[in-house]
A and B are shown apart, each in its own frame.
Chain A
């Protein structure tokens, strides 16, 4: 009896195996199926995604995208190469150079001439930045690229954020320095210690987890008025053609900033768990609306708290309230170490990250079709399908030809499951931001001014108005510098992100990071700041930051030289 059972089990499972190997490939013949892998986290689309099918009908290509799961980009790219099975399209993230070094990518050069849509993405100088050691282009960054005009409404970057209600309570004062910022946070938290549902407020918190410790780490760079080069300050006091790399970790500003945090921590104005909280705990905290202020980049927290902020909650007196109506939404402040300085928390213009991007692999059977497809994705009609959706289903057109969405459509596009079965952004393939080719609309719905305003809660609108700001970027109030034009090396993080441990500078960079990871929270909670700061600076010096700075200077100089050879001149 037993053996019989086992045999039937085996048979049943064999049957299961054979039945699913049999059913594959019943799709319409004129459409070519391709695959894409992006070494980032992302969401897979359902099979038979509606807009994907429409785009497939129009372009003749259907791409199945897959994403990073439980591996680092490096491991994933490594294992894909070793397994010998590459997708047709790939965005290798940090692994892009590895793919190039292994001759696995198809050069864009010939196809750029053939497909003007693609060529149009960048100027000649910009394309040159993508050239690899053999002089050819193998990938193109697809993000933050504005068609004609910069129309940014948001501030995706870093800032000291503060809840709109705090500013409102004191008549929208001008906040320029850390002292003013913490003063108002402390005052408000004393006067309004609880939310309507009885949750106690936290004046300020700061994430220190893993690589997101930039929330505590890089503020000194901004506080000194410099843009987000990410790894160093590039001082141009002697002119933009004589840039000098400066370490922002050892400046007086850095010391002042951390001393300020230390004092505020001692006063109880900083979340006692700031140094140990995980990202989930951090988001949970923010979602309750109890955190009045924080320093972070917008994308890292804002999207996650939108949902909780707009759902109704029960107050302790039984009434209902919503956090966004209460004014808990965060507005960005462009603080500086002294009042009255220029600052560049917001960077205008495009940030070109030449370290990674969308590529076609040598495994692709028809590279010409692949590039043709990428090019067609930039046709306005397809581009609208990708980001706006289907007319009358996902957006409406008013009599002036302007696109808009109804509340229901907006809600739909907030739903992950709706997007999984309906929308198809091909989000790691070439795309535009900015004004549409029709001159009326915008490439992305969130840039359409009417759509942007419709998405804001009342207290936020009032706050923007009070400061005379039209949007988030205005609110930050950075000096208008198109960094990419004025500073040819900008952003330098596209260099430091790609640093390996094969050079002394790379090793130093890694060790500096680990030292800061350990010491920055430690100096904030220290009972004896001066001693611990000195110990931190000693430990930091032990990482040989000069090795790193030397390489950073060389990177700046070489990018400058490239720009100058292309005719760049300081403004």
Chain B
């Protein structure tokens, strides 16, 4: 008996020493990783606060050389269309995330039911959509017939279901023990009740992940705004407006194709590099600010041990 206890203690000590070394090494790796990934962000931040003409000369790393807030003023205050774009983007991000999350979750739910007769074929049906694409022109023509062009709904309806997200959620749901569902069904619960009352609460980490993916997708998208609502400024999005601004800044040196006597135009006082940086920080900030609220779901984790088999 005593020997056994002694063995265990020694074992524990060994583990503690191992642990310590592991923690130290792991912390070093994590800190190094953080430094490496933080650099481009800080570099962008430094550029965003640098005066434009000066930044053209390059060589800015972690700190602005000639401090200026001009770049932010340029993107925030001087364009009304940017505010309009901001509203649309906020609208589509909220509405789009909620609807898309619901749509994806429901499809994942039925695909994760082991007894579902069409589980395999319906999965394949959606997998194919990930890799087969009709191309820009047929899609445009289709949306035109569905009256989705020149409309806000083009941001919401076509992107409701994403096979990728569905597969991720389905995998997560399949990990939930059947016993829970069976128990509920014995008590007379239908599929929808199981989905809402049992599966959903257990899926918060994956919901949070997918919500993040979808929201970031909405927040960052601009191509759809251009393609479907090019001449409808009321449906413009934030990123499209910023993108236009950036492209125009890069073009402000004027000029058409090689050899053309181009339109003369003035020197750029704002440079693409600094405005681009400011625009990037400007759009990154809200997501970074909201992140901690989602983060708690998948970093800290949930204590769902109690309901496991």
Contact = CB atoms under 8 A, between A and B. Distances in A.
Chain A–chain B contact at Cβ < 8 A: yes
A21 interface: yes
A311 B54 contact: yes
B52 interface: yes
Interface string A288-325: 10000000010111011111100100000000000000
Contacts of B263: 143, 427
Nearest to B73: A417
Contacts of A303: 252-254, 264-268
Contacts of A220: none
Nearest to A347: B261
Given A9-B94, A156-B262, A419-B266, A78 B137 contact: yes
A68 interface: yes
B95 A68 contact: no
B220 interface: no
A47 B80 CA distance: 7
B235 to A, nearest CB: 8
Contacts of A82: 136-137, 140-141, 144
A70 B233 CA distance: 17
Interface in A196-222: 211-212, 214
A384 B248 CA distance: 24
A307 B79 contact: no
Contact of A20 (B87, B255, B264): B87
B273 A300 contact: no
Interface in A49-106: 64, 66-71, 75, 78-80, 82-85, 87, 93
A244 interface: no
B64 interface: no
B243 interface: yes
B260 A351 contact: yes
A79 B265 CA distance: 29
Given A13-B91, A20-B87, A83 B228 contact: yes
Contact of B251 (A20, A40, A47): A40
B67 interface: no
Interface residues of B, number: 70
Interface-central residue, B149, B244, B262, B267, by most chain A CB under 10 Å: B267
Nearest to B262: A299
Contacts of B56: 283-284, 287, 304-305, 307-308
A299 B78 contact: no
Nearest to B225: A69
A449 interface: no
A143 B262 contact: yes
A10 interface: yes
B231 A79 contact: no
Given A68-B247, A156-B262, A299 B149 contact: no
A288 to B, nearest CB: 5
B98 A21 contact: no
Nearest to A284: B58
A17 B91 contact: yes
A491 B259 contact: yes
Contact of B258 (A80, A283, A297, A311): A297
Interface stretch (A169-177, A408-416, A533-541): A408-416
Interface-central residue, A13, A40, A87, by most chain B CB under 10 Å: A13
B149 A83 contact: yes
Contact of B90 (A13, A85, A93): A13
A21 B152 contact: yes
A313 B60 CA distance: 15
A570 B9 CA distance: 106
Contacts of B222: 69-70
B84 interface: yes
Given A299-B254, A304-B268, A351 B261 contact: yes
A230 to B, nearest CB: 5
Interface in B141-200: 141, 143-144, 149-150, 152
B152 A17 contact: yes
Contacts of A287: 56-58
A367 interface: no
B281 interface: no
Interface string A1-43: 0000010011011101101110110000000000101001111
A228 interface: yes
A417 B91 contact: no
A311 to B, nearest CB: 5
A12 B91 CA distance: 8
Interface-central residue, B53, B243, B257, B273, by most chain A CB under 10 Å: B257
Contacts of B150: 85
A444 B266 CA distance: 12
A300 B255 contact: yes
B144 A84 contact: yes
18 contacts: A14-B91, A17-B95, A41-B251, A47-B80, A47-B81, A68-B247, A69-B243, A79-B136, A87-B231, A143-B263, A154-B264, A299-B255, A300-B253, A303-B253, A303-B268, A413-B266, A416-B269, A416-B270
Given A79-B136, A157-B261, 10 more contacts: A16-B87, A21-B152, A41-B251, A44-B244, A70-B247, A82-B136, A284-B57, A303-B265, A414-B269, A491-B259
Closest 9 interchain pairs by CB?
A41-B251, A306-B267, A144-B261, A43-B248, A13-B94, A284-B58, A307-B53, A16-B91, A82-B140
